[in-house]
């Protein structure tokens, strides 16, 4: 699979790059040439991810045999009846139905542990009352501090719990099926499987309109990306909804106490020769962030936590001789996928400001670069093999379409079966791409400056994350970056500023693509202010998709 991705990418680079590299032979200064090279490298990066999405999704369509049918031949592990500890982690977000799903397992030898990190007395009282009703099955574990985020909470518990061969981790909103334990244990065939990850779906009982329209994101990832990587790539532990071996946990030294402990742990155990598998026939439910603000906070945790994990653990991972090159590429590709908004922001600045200043060819004329270019130099003719190098040609247009619709192939295909649900998801996906560009870029920048990750609680009972946090003017910018920035007042102000800047660039340069980002950022601010439950706001959210479709149609007409 990855050989296919890389081959297609190399062919794309060799096919398109000479057209842009030809501009290096002009009289422009070194700054212009560096800007051009940066543009080309960034373009190659985004082409790689365009093909990455398409190939992985294509392999998912062609692979229809559930791994369970080839892996499970008997239930010897179930006959052995191993002991299992179900760990339910919570921090001011206790959901009784989630804990009950742990208690109501169709399996005999297990114990439920509530790892309570709550600081709110009301939640502590609720947990104690609940545990008192199920004394035989539920034990509450608390600690004196909250060091190490969720990983610290789990490590603290597992250092006290003895005698369990396997353990499972549930978040506060995790709903387990009754066959969770009996369905996952048989996957531990052989001594190299360290964990089994259950399939996740967005909880259909959520009342939030935002979660209902965007929650398909969870199923899309499991059905196509997780499914494909279960056979051809690297299976990652997702931090919840998974069964893990206790002996491997202790051999690895516990969970790394960082914000993205799941990815770090997955890499640590792989270095030791262990790996994980995904159980597609065991389905857990999880709450999708119910508000736009909470979605931004979760995204911040993923971006900053993933960056921290890459800095601290990937160098050792990539040097390990126990790991194939494919797995190393897969981990880096999957992790950096979350970090793309920042390089894309740099690309926007290059295309919108710097390159048009130096190169006439990068000045837009409506929807297109000002091409073709006439070459007289024989060396240039040899490089590009043409005297009329049309950069924005039909082949480039096809690649552009692939880049845009690649991740959206599954919902587009499913429009026939679920027209209303999938169309709403496509609208939300388009909006999120343009609306979160600045906040996502700032998340990465904040980590690089502060080297501090954050761990938000995105459960539906957490109300404080819905509000824009206002800091004192006396706070330093470095201090600002050490704290959550996704919904900070400064972040929202920056989004407003760039909405205006992108609009001005669009008008002056006739580059209509910048209008999409301007509109997306403006609607983002409105959404933060009024919420997604406002029907008028939901109508506005569809505007980026409408504009995008119009642009694509207009480009297609200009190329006829």
CATH architecture of 70-288: Alpha-Beta Complex (3.90)
- The answer to whether the CB of 372 falls within 8 A of the CB of 390 is yes
CA distances in angstroms from 251 to 164, 165, 172, 190, listed in the order given: 15, 13, 27, 17
What DSSP element (H or E) covers 303?
helix 292-319
What six digits make up the tokens of 406?
Answer: 């690649």
- Is residue 69 scored above 50 in pLDDT? no
Both structure tokens of 152: 């610290």
SS3 399: helix
**What was the pLDDT predicted at 374?**
40
Q: What is the pLDDT of residues 489-498, one digit of tens each?
A: 999 999 999 9
pLDDT tens for 78-97 read: 767 889 999 999 999 889 99
**Where do the DSSP E strands lie in 287-367?**
364-365
User: Does 388 have pLDDT greater than 50?
Assistant: no
Per-domain boundaries in the chain: 70-288, 343-558
CB atoms within 10 A of CB 70: 9
Tokens describing residue 3: 């050989």
Cβ-based neighbours of 307, under 8 Å, separated by 6 or more: 339, 444, 447, 448, 453
Cα–Cα distance measured from residue 164 to residue 158, given in angstroms and rounded to the nearest whole number? 10
- Quickly list H helices, 119-272: 121-133, 149-158, 180-184, 209-214, 216-220, 227-232, 246-251, 261-271
For CA atoms 279, 283, 287, 293, the dihedral sign is positive
Q: Are 409 and 415 in contact (CB under 8 A)?
A: no
pLDDT at residue 66 in the model: 57
pLDDT tens digits, residue range 312-331? 999 999 999 889 998 999 99
Of residues 368 and 187, more confidence is placed in 187
Highest mean pLDDT pick, 90-94, 353-357, 460-464 = 90-94
Contact in structure between 550 and 542 (CB atoms under 8 Å): no
**Tens-digit pLDDT profile for residues 226-276:** 888 888 888 899 989 999 999 999 999 999 998 899 999 999 999 999 999
Selected residue with higher pLDDT from 115 and 505: 115
CA triple 449-269-166, angle to 5 deg = 120
DSSP summary character for residue 89: E
159-172 mean pLDDT: 92
């Amino acid at each position: 699979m990855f050989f296919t991705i890389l081959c297609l990418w190399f062919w794309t680079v060799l096919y398109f790059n000479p057209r842009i590299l030809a501009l290096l032979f002009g009289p422009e200064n070194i700054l212009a040439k560096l800007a051009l090279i940066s543009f080309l490298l960034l373009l190659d990066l985004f082409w790689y991810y365009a093909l990455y999405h398409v190939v992985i999704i294509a392999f998912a369509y062609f692979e229809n045999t559930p791994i369970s049918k080839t892996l499970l031949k008997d239930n010897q592990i179930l006959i052995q009846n191993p002991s299992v500890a179900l760990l339910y982690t919570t921090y001011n977000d206790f959901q009784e139905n989630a804990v009950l799903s742990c208690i109501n397992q169709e399996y005999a030898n297990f114990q439920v542990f509530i790892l309570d990190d709550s600081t709110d007395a009301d939640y502590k009282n609720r947990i104690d009352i609940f545990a008192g009703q199920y004394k035989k099955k539920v034990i509450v574990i608390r600690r004196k501090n909250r060091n190490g985020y969720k990983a610290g909470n789990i490590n603290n518990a597992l250092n006290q719990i003895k005698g369990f061969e396997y353990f499972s981790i549930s978040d506060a909103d995790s709903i387990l099926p009754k066959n969770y334990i009996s369905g996952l244990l048989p996957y531990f065939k052989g001594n190299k499987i360290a964990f089994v990850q259950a399939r996740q779906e967005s909880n259909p009982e959520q009342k939030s309109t935002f979660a209902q329209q965007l929650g398909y994101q969870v199923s899309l990832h499991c059905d196509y990306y997780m499914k494909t990587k279960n056979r051809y790539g690297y299976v990652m532990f997702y931090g919840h909804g998974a069964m893990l071996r206790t002996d491997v946990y202790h051999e690895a030294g516990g969970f790394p106490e960082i914000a993205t402990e799941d990815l770090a742990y997955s890499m640590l155990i792989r270095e030791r020769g262990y790996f994980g598998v995904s159980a597609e026939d065991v389905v857990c439910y999880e709450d999708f962030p119910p508000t736009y603000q909470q979605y931004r906070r979760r995204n911040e945790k993923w971006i900053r936590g993933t960056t921290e994990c890459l800095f601290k653990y990937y160098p050792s991972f990539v040097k390990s001789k126990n790991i194939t090159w494919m797995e190393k590429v897969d981990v880096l590709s999957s992790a950096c996928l979350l970090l793309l908004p920042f390089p894309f922001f740099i690309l926007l600045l290059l295309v919108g400001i710097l390159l048009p200043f130096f190169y006439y060819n990068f000045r837009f004329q409506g929807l297109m670069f000002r091409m073709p270019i006439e070459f007289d130099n024989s060396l240039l003719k040899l490089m590009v093999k043409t005297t009329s190098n049309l950069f924005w040609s039909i082949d480039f247009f096809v690649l552009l379409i692939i880049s845009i619709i690649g991740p959206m192939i599954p919902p587009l295909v499913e429009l026939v079966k679920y027209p209303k649900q999938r169309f709403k998801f496509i609208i939300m996906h388009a909006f999120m791409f343009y609306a979160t560009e600045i906040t996502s870029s700032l998340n990465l920048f904040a980590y690089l400056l502060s080297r501090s990750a954050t761990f938000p609680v995105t459960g539906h009972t957490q109300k404080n994350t819905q509000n824009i946090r206002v800091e004192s003017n006396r706070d330093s910018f470095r201090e600002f970056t050490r704290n959550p920035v996704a919904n900070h007042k400064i972040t929202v102000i920056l989004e407003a500023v760039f909405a205006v800047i992108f609009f001005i660039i669009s008008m002056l340069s006739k580059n209509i693509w910048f209008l999409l980002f301007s509109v997306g950022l403006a609607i983002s601010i409105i959404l933060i202010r009024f919420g997604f439950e406002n029907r008028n706001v939901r109508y506005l959210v569809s505007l980026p998709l409408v504009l995008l479709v119009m642009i694509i149609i207009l480009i297609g007409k200009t190329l006829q």
